[in-house]
């Protein structure tokens, strides 16, 4: 029996369990690219408009931060790729990460893999099966993406290159997730490591592209976008992606061979004999359970904000050095730095709602694991159980937003010596709280009334993310775009804070939370 | 005598499945009540109705004189619950979980906590992630018995425990009983039920098949008789209530309904009894008969 015996059976199991999830990922990524291609063809229908677009994005630091260095933006296909590939690269990477961790460490943590390992299944079979499915899924994403681009009239070769870059990123992050899954004994820890690496790679690429420095080339996203589809196509940049994937896969195999089933790399140490005083409360327990989640997101987003803050001055200098850009921004109102900060703030606020959603969904996770039952059999009422947990979610959200504002403002002050924006940046970040909490409210509502459909909470997050990324390009009608709470809030510091929209969104958020809470009080607890 | 637990005709459906189909369960205050039935009979569902985790579709449920659904948290301060499959927070230690549950219940007895940790030989410093099933079960048992409450709801509490720990558990239940507490014990370990329980209820297909003291239940069933007689006794076949008589080497073996035992013995004695053993059904036989009938029907 070899160490991968049984892998084909496990592949079938993975496919059976993900028969809905996987097609949703594939079609979702393809649909986003297809919709963008259509929108681009509708918006930029004259050579003048295309030239105008090229001039705008070349001068916009915010666009560089999000989408990378403009390549071939003088063609419709180049614009399509430039506009849509950020969503696609992040989506394909996260698809691989979730898929691999779900079928490796999560299986091991729940003990299900023990049952499988007792049959004729080799040590590396689970990793091989999960990575194989992720590779096939990534190839499909690449083919579908290329197919959609060709269908909208793009050249075949460039379309294939763009598809191939997506495929290679999917493969790379499948390998990264496989290695991460060996490190911690919990699936959440593995997701944190692998997801954190996706985030770090993305942030490095963004910073490198804003300041046009070497950081771009430290990030795999920089390599993928550096292939320049529809420009001077550079296929060879796919090689380092695959080489790095092989390296991580080797690491995963080496780590698996060295550790016991179920264990992480670090042996568990003895803990406290007695519980701290605050642990006997619902919020105390929730805080303890979500400590890692909260600290992870807080650190990641604060560091990201700090890095973005440190490039603020460069953005100003870049514009000042360029007479054409200066003229352009003077027409726009001159607030190039404010525009950059406003963009970063609203983007990070959207990302913060991912923390909020995972934090709120912990209620359901506790229920599914049977731990809510043990708690609710004590003197703890359902209401206090839910409110204790949501208190951690809400306060955590506010803290993260505050850290984002401070991180942005403090590093900007350090680099430029200008500490004036600090207060308005901190306030501007916290002013996004109602929108974050409205998205969290959707998650609470789902937990309260449709506990089996927690994926809907992530669909709500995916929608606000897409709306903030592609909403402008897709030119969504106000009724659709307005479903995103972020759409209603003024964007500080470019716009002034107004009470009415913030209050309205806050009231809606509170109503969603309250309705969810009612659901949790009247329904059966699993 | 008041009832600590009272379920009258409780109905609970999950989709098309009727998990509880008119269940009756009366647990008198101060007694240890055994709750028996095959897998999937509805025992855990009944416990969850009593805990107010799920709401009964019909019938009446009273727990410690209150409504288990609307007064859940209030009533839970007076009870402790041990599930059969204990799931704990992987990063918390056993000691932390015990304190957590005790405090949420409204406080625990420090001396008792120490004593129970020793009795169950549980290391409270280990992370719950590293505990075996038996050890997780012990955490829940220590947490439950560290609080001096009126009612213990125990749903197959000893699954995964070794025989020594089983004995420690029985000691805990008897101590609680001496204190005047009520215990509802769902279990498949018949020796445990026989040793601890004053009365038992057998549930089958979501409703109560039988309820009573163990001796009452035995009365309802048959006694197995083995007799050697100096003359053959074919007449035993004609006695009402005699089942499956078998004759072999001058020995006759048969089951007889408890109500016809006297008549059967009279017929045997007419044939000259040389040896006679009669034993009431063991608990095993009792349950096999109960469970088996369900399978047959």
pLDDT tens digits, residue range A79-125? 999 988 888 999 999 999 999 999 999 998 888 888 887 877 888 89
pLDDT range class, residue B296, cuts 50, 70, 90? very low
Nearest chain A Cα to B96, which residue? Answer: A275
Task: Quote the pLDDT of residue A392.
Answer: 97
**Cβ B52–A274 below 8 Å, yes or no?**
no
**Start-end of H helices in B123-260:** 133-145, 163-178, 190-196, 214-219
Q: How far apart are CA A166 and CA A92, in angstroms?
A: 7
Instruction: Encode pLDDT of A143-178 as tens digits.
Output: 999 999 999 989 999 999 999 999 999 999 999 999
Pairing between β-strand B151-155 and β-strand B79-82 as defined by DSSP bridges: parallel
Q: How far apart are CA A65 and CA A343, in angstroms?
A: 10
Residues A207-212: what's their mean pLDDT? 87
**Cβ B51–A280 below 8 Å, yes or no?**
no
**Cβ B96–A271 below 8 Å, yes or no?**
yes
**Cβ B73–A186 below 8 Å, yes or no?**
no
Task: Quote the pLDDT of residue A329.
Answer: 61
Least confident of A393-402, A466-475, B132-141, B248-257: A466-475
A387 contact residues in B (CB cutoff 8 A): none
| Residue pair A186/A105 in contact by the 8 Å Cβ criterion | yes
Instruction: Encode pLDDT of A234-289 as tens digits.
Output: 999 999 999 999 999 999 999 988 888 777 777 777 888 888 888 889 999 999 99
Q: How far apart are CA B138 and CA B113, in angstroms?
A: 12
Residues of B with CB under 8 A from a CB of A: 48, 51-55, 72-74, 76-77, 79-81, 83, 85-93, 95-106, 123-127, 129-130, 140, 153
**Cβ A380–B86 below 8 Å, yes or no?**
no
Question: What residues contact residue A5 under an 8 Å CB cut-off, 6+ apart?
Answer: A120, A121, A122, A125
Residues A59-74: what's their mean pLDDT? 84
Residues B174-197: what's their mean pLDDT? 92
Residues of A with CB under 8 A from a CB of B: 109, 185-186, 268, 270-276, 279-282, 285, 288-289, 369-371, 373-382, 384, 522, 524-525
**Cβ A268–B130 below 8 Å, yes or no?**
yes
Give the Cβ contact number of residue A328 at 10 Å. Answer: 16
**Start-end of H helices in A184-311:** 187-210, 220-225, 238-258, 282-289, 291-310
A109 contact residues in B (CB cutoff 8 A): 90
Task: Quote the pLDDT of residue B297.
Answer: 39
* pTM, 2 dp: 0.83
pLDDT range class, residue B40, cuts 50, 70, 90? confident
Q: Which of A257, A12, A224, A199 has the alpha carbon at shortest distance from A116?
A: A12
Question: What residues contact residue A252 under an 8 Å CB cut-off, 6+ apart?
Answer: A127, A175, A178, A179, A181, A182
Strand order across the B151-155 sheet: B79-82, B151-155, B182-186, B32-36, B199-204, B207-213
CA A18-A23-A24 angle, 5° bins: 100
Task: Quote the pLDDT of residue A327.
Answer: 65
Least confident of A191-195, A469-473, B27-31: A469-473
Question: What residues contact residue A396 under an 8 Å CB cut-off, 6+ apart?
Answer: A290, A294, A297, A298, A355, A356, A359
A439: its two tokens: 């998205």
| Residue pair A184/A105 in contact by the 8 Å Cβ criterion | yes
**Alpha carbon of B166: minimum distance to chain A alpha carbons (Å):** 22
Task: Quote the pLDDT of residue A57.
Answer: 82
pLDDT range class, residue B294, cuts 50, 70, 90? very low
**Cβ B104–A280 below 8 Å, yes or no?**
yes
Among A289, A370, A378, beta carbon nearest to B85: A370
Among A273, A375, A379, beta carbon nearest to B77: A379
Q: How far apart are CA B73 and CA B68, in angstroms?
A: 9
Among B51, B101, B125, beta carbon nearest to A271: B125
Task: Quote the pLDDT of residue B209.
Answer: 84
- How many A×B Cβ pairs under 8 Å? 118
Question: What residues contact residue A500 under an 8 Å CB cut-off, 6+ apart?
Answer: none
What are the C-alpha distances in Å from A192 to residues A101, A133, A135, A189, A197? 10, 21, 21, 5, 8
Task: Quote the pLDDT of residue B290.
Answer: 67
More confident residue, A341 or A391: A391
pLDDT range class, residue B233, cuts 50, 70, 90? confident
**Alpha carbon of A100: minimum distance to chain B alpha carbons (Å):** 22
Task: Quote the pLDDT of residue B60.
Answer: 95
Task: Quote the pLDDT of residue A401.
Answer: 97
Instruction: Encode pLDDT of A297-344 as tens digits.
Output: 999 999 989 988 888 887 777 777 766 666 666 555 447 788 888 888
Residues A183-207: what's their mean pLDDT? 92
B79, pLDDT greater than 90: yes
B116: its two tokens: 């129970």
**Cβ B51–A186 below 8 Å, yes or no?**
no
Task: Quote the pLDDT of residue A328.
Answer: 62
Task: Quote the pLDDT of residue A321.
Answer: 72
Pairing between β-strand B3-14 and β-strand B242-248 as defined by DSSP bridges: unpaired
Task: Quote the pLDDT of residue B295.
Answer: 42
B86 contact residues in A (CB cutoff 8 A): 374
| Residue pair B89/A289 in contact by the 8 Å Cβ criterion | yes
DSSP annotation of B93: B
Task: Quote the pLDDT of residue B176.
Answer: 96
B137 contact residues in A (CB cutoff 8 A): none
Kindly calculate the radius of gyration of chain B based on its CA atoms and give it in whole angstroms: 23
Strand order across the B3-14 sheet: B17-28, B3-14, B58-63
Mean pLDDT of chain A, nearest integer:
90
A194: its two tokens: 């692998």
**Cβ A379–B106 below 8 Å, yes or no?**
yes
A385, pLDDT greater than 60: yes
Q: How far apart are CA A87 and CA A471, in angstroms?
A: 12
| Residue pair B90/B129 in contact by the 8 Å Cβ criterion | yes
**Cβ B87–A369 below 8 Å, yes or no?**
yes
Q: Which of B84, B69, B25, B43 has the alpha carbon at shortest distance from B206?
A: B43
A369, pLDDT greater than 50: yes
More confident residue, A492 or A158: A158
Paired residues of B222 in beta bridges: B257
């Amino acid at each position: 029996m070899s160490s991968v015996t049984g892998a084909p059976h496990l592949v079938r199991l993975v496919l059976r369990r993900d028969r809905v999830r996987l097609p949703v990922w594939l079609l979702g990524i393809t649909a986003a690219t297809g919709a963008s291609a259509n929108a681009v063809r509708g918006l930029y229908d004259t050579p003048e408009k295309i030239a105008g677009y090229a001039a705008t994005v070349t001068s916009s630091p915010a666009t560089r931060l999000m989408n990378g260095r403009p390549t071939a933006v003088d063609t419709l296909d180049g614009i399509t790729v430039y506009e849509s590939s950020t969503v696609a690269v992040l989506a394909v990477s996260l698809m691989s990460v979730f898929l691999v961790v779900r079928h490796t460490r999560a299986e091991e943590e729940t003990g299900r893999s023990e049952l499988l390992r007792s049959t004729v299944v080799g040590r590396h079979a689970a990793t091989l099966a999960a990575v194989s499915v992720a590779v096939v899924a990534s190839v499909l994403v690449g083919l579908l993406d290329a197919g959609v681009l060709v269908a909208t009239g793009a050249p075949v070769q460039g379309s294939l290159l763009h598809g191939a870059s997506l495929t290679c990123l999917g493969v790379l992050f499948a390998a990264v997730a496989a290695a991460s899954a060996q490190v911690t004994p919990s699936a959440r820890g593995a997701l944190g490591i692998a997801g954190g690496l996706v985030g770090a790679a993305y942030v490095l690429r963004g910073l490198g592209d804003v300041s046009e420095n070497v950081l771009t080339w430290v990030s795999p996203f920089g390599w993928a976008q550096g292939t320049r589809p529809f420009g001077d196509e550079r296929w060879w940049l796919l090689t380092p992606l695959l080489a790095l994937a092989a390296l991580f896969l080797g690491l995963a195999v080496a780590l698996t061979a060295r550790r016991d089933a179920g264990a992480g790399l670090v042996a568990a140490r003895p803990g406290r004999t007695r519980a701290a005083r605050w642990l006997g409360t619902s919020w105390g327990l929730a805080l303890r359970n979500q400590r890692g989640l909260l600290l992870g997101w807080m650190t990641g987003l604060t560091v990201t904000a700090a890095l973005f803050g440190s490039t603020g001055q460069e953005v100003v200098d870049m514009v000042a050095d360029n007479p054409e850009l200066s003229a352009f921004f003077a027409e726009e109102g001159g607030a190039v730095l404010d525009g950059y900060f406003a963009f970063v703030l609203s983007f990070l606020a959207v990302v913060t709602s991912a923390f909020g959603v995972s934090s709120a969904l912990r209620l359901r996770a506790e229920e599914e694991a049977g731990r809510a039952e043990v708690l609710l059999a004590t003197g703890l009422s359902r209401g206090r159980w839910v409110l204790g947990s949501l208190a951690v979610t809400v306060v955590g959200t506010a803290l993260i937003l505050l850290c984002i504002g401070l991180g942005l403002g403090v590093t900007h002050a350090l680099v430029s010596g200008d500490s004036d924006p600090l207060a308005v940046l901190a306030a501007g970040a916290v002013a996004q709280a109602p929108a974050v909490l409205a998205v969290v409210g959707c998650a609470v509502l789902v937990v309260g009334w449709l506990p089996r459909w927690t994926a809907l909470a992530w669909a709500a997050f995916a929608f606000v993310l897409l709306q903030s990324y592609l909403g402008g390009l897709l030119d969504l009608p106000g009724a659709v775009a307005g479903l995103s709470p972020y759409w209603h809030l003024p964007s500080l510091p470019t716009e002034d804070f107004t009470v009415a929209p913030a209050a309205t969104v806050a009231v809606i958020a509170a109503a969603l939370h309250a309705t969810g809470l009612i659901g949790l009080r009247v329904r059966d607890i699993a | 005598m008041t009832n600590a637990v009272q379920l009258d005709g409780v109905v609970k459906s999950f989709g098309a499945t009727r998990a509880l189909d008119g269940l009756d369960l009366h647990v008198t205050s101060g007694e240890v009540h055994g709750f028996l039935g095959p897998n999937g009979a509805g025992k855990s569902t009944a416990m969850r109705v009593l805990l107010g985790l799920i709401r009964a579709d019909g019938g009446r449920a009273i727990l410690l004189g209150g409504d288990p659904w609307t007064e859940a948290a209030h009533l839970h301060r007076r009870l402790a619950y041990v599930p059969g499959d204990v799931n704990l927070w992987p990063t918390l230690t056993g000691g932390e979980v015990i304190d957590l549950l005790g405090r949420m219940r409204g406080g625990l007895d420090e001396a008792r906590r120490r004593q129970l940790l020793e009795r169950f030989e549980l290391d409270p410093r280990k992370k719950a992630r590293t505990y075996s099933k038996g050890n997780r079960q012990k955490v829940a048992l220590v947490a439950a018995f560290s609080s001096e409450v009126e009612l213990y709801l125990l749903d197959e509490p000893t699954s995964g425990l070794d025989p020594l720990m089983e004995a420690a558990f029985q000691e805990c239940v008897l101590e609680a009983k001496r204190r005047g507490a009520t215990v509802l014990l769902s279990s498949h370990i018949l020796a445990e039920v026989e040793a601890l329980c004053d009365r038992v209820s057998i549930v089958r297909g979501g409703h109560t098949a039988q309820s009573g003291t163990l001796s009452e239940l035995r009365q309802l069933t048959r006694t197995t008789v083995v007799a050697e007689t100096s003359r053959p006794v074919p007449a035993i076949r004609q006695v009402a209530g005699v089942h499956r008589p078998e004759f072999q080497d001058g020995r006759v073996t048969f089951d007889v309904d408890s109500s016809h035992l006297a008549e059967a013995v009279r017929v045997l004695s007419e044939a000259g009894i040389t040896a006679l053993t009669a034993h009431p059904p063991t608990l095993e036989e009792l349950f096999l008969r109960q469970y088996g009938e369900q399978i047959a029907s």
